[in-house]
Amino acid sequence: AMVLLPLIYLALIFAAGWATYHHAVHHFQPIMTWGTANWRVMLIKVFLYGAPLVVGVIIVFFMIKPLLARRPKAAQPLALNPG
């Protein structure tokens, strides 16, 4: 059980990275061929393509970050003054 949880976490990181990559590679053409050349439609299309990429990169970054973090320094115990 102790080995299984880190493996599941690594699999989740891989899945999030793969989903971001898949969206970047395979969804550009279908999204950009929708609708007309109106600037509002183009802005919506850019948002629909770009927002998942930004969110995916942020998610993968914050999932990898704990794996690379240093151990915290030992905390000094505080003495309570009863007066």
Region of 35 on the Ramachandran plot (φ > 0 left; ψ -120 to 50 alpha; else beta) = left
> How many other CB atoms are found less than 10 A from the CB of residue 9?
13
pLDDT-derived band at 8, boundaries 50, 70, 90: very high
The Cα–Cα gap between 64 and 83 comes to 46
Q: Report if residue 33 sits inside a domain.
A: yes
Q: Report if residue 73 sits inside a domain.
A: no
The Cα–Cα gap between 60 and 64 comes to 6
Q: Report if residue 46 sits inside a domain.
A: yes
Q: Report if residue 82 sits inside a domain.
A: no
**pLDDT tens profile 16-43:** 999 999 999 998 888 888 777 788 888 9
Q: Report if residue 42 sits inside a domain.
A: yes
Q: Report if residue 76 sits inside a domain.
A: no
DSSP single-letter state for residue 69 = P
pLDDT-derived band at 64, boundaries 50, 70, 90: very high
Q: Report if residue 26 sits inside a domain.
A: yes
* Residue range(s) defining the domain that contains residue 25: 4-65
Tally of structural domains, the chain: 1
| Contact (CB, 8 A) for 45 and 34 | yes
| Contact (CB, 8 A) for 30 and 63 | no
